[in-house]
Structure 1
């Protein structure tokens, strides 16, 4: 497998695929952060999480067209506005879904799985009816175009660096919210003992709604990042939902550090193996390794220790 390449070529291949893996890692992190909050903190299996991501992508697409048609002088900054719009659009939809559906299904994981799977089909058809079945793409601003030439064989795209910076910012923000804010303490209290948290005055229903909205909003941000590396279609979210669940379960549900570590290891392994073996075989081998590890450590790499 490696004998056909020189040492310099292998170095360049690993460097380029490693960086491509970092871009995939950034998308995985943004997707998995939202899912880890919803699944890890609330125990809700949200099969429609990919559709919340695609909502963010479509909001970014509409923002791009809005600025191109009505504010061309500000087009270079449209993506910064699109990130904010995508977060609030996905979060608002999350509030509606939690109020109208999810709140009736807590502590019933199989029911949430089936209900959100049905929701994902409804959202896919809604996107298909509104935006059409064909995939759409955004025009990347000039300041995100191009790449940095590190060596004669290694280039680093600027939009990839931006996506990674966005993932780092989102991770730090979630960490501060979960471990340094009053709301984060309430979330962790509800996770550890819902009845006792309610007894001391915490509005558990409000905490659930805001937690679900935050998770969905982060998925919307992931959708904005997704437009930088691929086109958007009604069913594009389903391409990432399995990998995202794999990241959350492998890292340990509810563990922020585990989510990041799992996303990094899975994205890097897939990116490098795809070059030498093809996409399908890379996914199969990655899944096989993860399953074997989970057989010996079913709680994930970094599970939370909770006193019961």
Structure 2
């Protein structure tokens, strides 16, 4: 597999595939952060998580078209405005879904799986009806285009650097919200003992609603980031949902550090293997490796220690 390349060529290949893996890591991590909040903290299997990502991508697409047509002078900051709107749109829809659907299905994981799977099909068809079956692309500001040369053979796309910077910022904010804020303490209290949390005055229904909305909102941000590296279609979210669940389960459903480590490991493995093998074979080998590790360590890479 490596015999046809010189050492310098292999170094350049690993460098470029490593950076491509970092871009994939950024999207997977944003998706997994939202899913880890919903699945890890609430125990809800949200099969429509990919569609919340695509909702954010379509909001970014609409904003791009709007600024191009009516406010071209603001194109330089249009992407960040679109990202904020994507978070609001996905988060608001997520809160509505929790209030009118998920709330009646807690403690019934199979029912939440079936209900959110049906929701994903409804959202896919809605996207297909509104935007058409073809994939669409977002026009990025000029300053986000191009690449930065590192060596004669290695160049780093500027939009990839921006995606990674956004991911680092969102990850740090999620850490502050979940582990350094009063609201995060309320979320953990509800997860550990809902009855006692309600007894001390915590509005458990409000915590559930906002938590689900936050997870879906982060998926919307992932959709905005996704538009920088790929085109958007009605069913594009299904391409990422399996990898996202894999990241969350492999890292440990309630562990932020585990989610980060798992997303990095899986993205780097897939990116490197895809260059030397086919894309499907890379996924198969990655999946087999992860399954083997989970068989030996079913709680994931990292597990939170709690008092029972």
Aligned residue pairs, count: 308
1:157-193 CA deviation, whole Å, 9 max, x = no partner? 0000000001000000000000111100000111111
Mapped to 1, the partners of 2:193 and 2:161 lie a distance apart of 40
Are 2:77 and 1:71 equivalent residues in the alignment?
no
Mapped to 2, the partners of 1:298 and 1:198 lie a distance apart of 31
Mapped to 1, the partners of 2:195 and 2:171 lie a distance apart of 29
Corresponding position of 1:34: 34
1:44-99 CA deviation, whole Å, 9 max, x = no partner? 00000000000000000000001001101111110010010000000000011001
Corresponding position of 2:18: 18
Mapped to 1, the partners of 2:209 and 2:59 lie a distance apart of 22
Are 2:132 and 1:123 equivalent residues in the alignment?
no
Corresponding position of 1:52: 52
Corresponding position of 1:219: 219
Mapped to 2, the partners of 1:307 and 1:251 lie a distance apart of 21
Structure 2: unaligned runs, 5 residues or longer = none
1:216-238 CA deviation, whole Å, 9 max, x = no partner? 00000000000000000000000
Mapped to 2, the partners of 1:304 and 1:101 lie a distance apart of 29
Give the deviation of 1:126 after TM superposition: 0.3
Q: How does 1:143-154 map to 2 (within 5 A)?
A: 143-154=143-154
Corresponding position of 1:177: 177
Corresponding position of 1:285: 285
1:186-226 CA deviation, whole Å, 9 max, x = no partner? 00111111111111110110000000000000000000000
Mapped to 1, the partners of 2:83 and 2:169 lie a distance apart of 12
1:97-156 CA deviation, whole Å, 9 max, x = no partner? 001100000010000000000000000000000000110001111110011100000000
Mapped to 1, the partners of 2:72 and 2:295 lie a distance apart of 55
SS in 1 for 2:156: strand
Mapped to 2, the partners of 1:115 and 1:8 lie a distance apart of 52
Give the TM-score of the pair, scaled to structure 2.
1.00
Structure 1 stretches of 4+ moved >3 Å: none
Give the deviation of 1:306 after TM superposition: 1.7
Give the deviation of 1:241 after TM superposition: 0.1
Corresponding position of 1:306: 306
Corresponding position of 1:90: 90
Mapped to 1, the partners of 2:292 and 2:264 lie a distance apart of 18
Q: How does 1:257-296 map to 2 (within 5 A)?
A: 257-296=257-296
Mapped to 2, the partners of 1:31 and 1:81 lie a distance apart of 20
Mapped to 2, the partners of 1:74 and 1:205 lie a distance apart of 40
Mapped to 1, the partners of 2:143 and 2:188 lie a distance apart of 40
Are 2:4 and 1:4 equivalent residues in the alignment?
yes
Are 2:89 and 1:103 equivalent residues in the alignment?
no
Mapped to 2, the partners of 1:242 and 1:48 lie a distance apart of 11
Corresponding position of 2:113: 113
SS in 1 for 2:230: coil
Are 2:182 and 1:189 equivalent residues in the alignment?
no
Structure 1: unaligned runs, 5 residues or longer = none
Q: Which moved more, 1:27-36 or 1:187-196?
A: 187-196
Corresponding position of 2:235: 235
The CA RMSD over aligned residues, in Å, is 0.5
Give the TM-score of the pair, scaled to structure 1.
1.00
